[in-house]
A = this chain, B = another copy of it.
């Protein structure tokens, strides 16, 4: 099916999901909308997150999408159930795929979760894990400094290491954790530094990689895969400044994705 997949995020974090969708589903066309103007969503109220998310969804529905990926953990936590109920297309959030991957990877059932204040406060990961498996022991930690750091393009170096090490100190209380969910789509961009801080004995789960994987599963189940191997012309939209968005996009993708040259980026008012 040659319709595009729609992807929404509060800013540029969702591009880590886009990166994985391009890698794992290279025949699929993507339409992305990042609400960079109003990012971050983490500290906002549930009502605000819900309203902004619906504005993004309404915009993408005009693009004739076949499936919607909510590539923002905060938006997933507050709106997934409602979107799944009201939309006639499949809607995939980033929380359940990460939770399922953690259940697969953990061997001692001690799972850490890091995310925005909104995501952690919502208990959405805890609920997702315990709905499936009750005896998972969870330690959840909000990391409010990480999203602004990524949106500024600070992804490594001494400053990032220092902030991350300070923020993750409370995780030391949970020293037998063998799996840590990166419960925010911005965090895969800090993966190397986070791994350095928590140690190599901890498996990091990227909700971005896992969400792309489950998108593939669901597209196949619903017989919606695009089997034609044509050039994909992806469309990216931002509610904020196009130049800043473009520069961050280039930094995030580096040169690792060939077909980034087939992306058009436009500013949009929603």
Interface residues of A, Cβ cutoff 8 Å to B: 24-27, 90, 96-97, 100-101, 103-104, 131-135, 209, 212-214, 216-218, 220-221, 225, 227, 229
Contact = CB atoms under 8 A, between A and B. Distances in A.
In this complex, which of A26, A209, A225 has the most chain B Cβ atoms within 10 angstroms of its Cβ? A26
15 contacts: A24-B132, A24-B133, A25-B132, A26-B132, A26-B135, A27-B133, A96-B220, A100-B213, A101-B213, A104-B209, A104-B213, A134-B229, A214-B217, A217-B217, A218-B218
B131 A26 contact: no
B131 A221 contact: no
A59 B104 CA distance: 30
B220 A221 contact: no
B216 A131 contact: no
B26 A217 contact: no
Q: 4 tightest CB-CB pairs across the interface, nearest first?
A: A100-B216, A214-B217, A104-B213, A217-B217
A217 B132 contact: no
Contacts of A26: 132-135
B218 A217 contact: yes
A218 to B, nearest CB: 6
Contacts of A216: 100, 103, 132
Report which residue of A218, A221, A227 has the largest number of chain B beta carbons within 10 angstroms of its beta carbon. A221
Nearest to A220: B96
A104 B97 CA distance: 14
A96 B216 CA distance: 10
A165 to B, nearest CB: 28
Contact of A100 (B24, B100, B104, B132): B24
Nearest to A103: B24
Contacts of A209: 104
Contacts of A212: 104
A221 B90 contact: yes
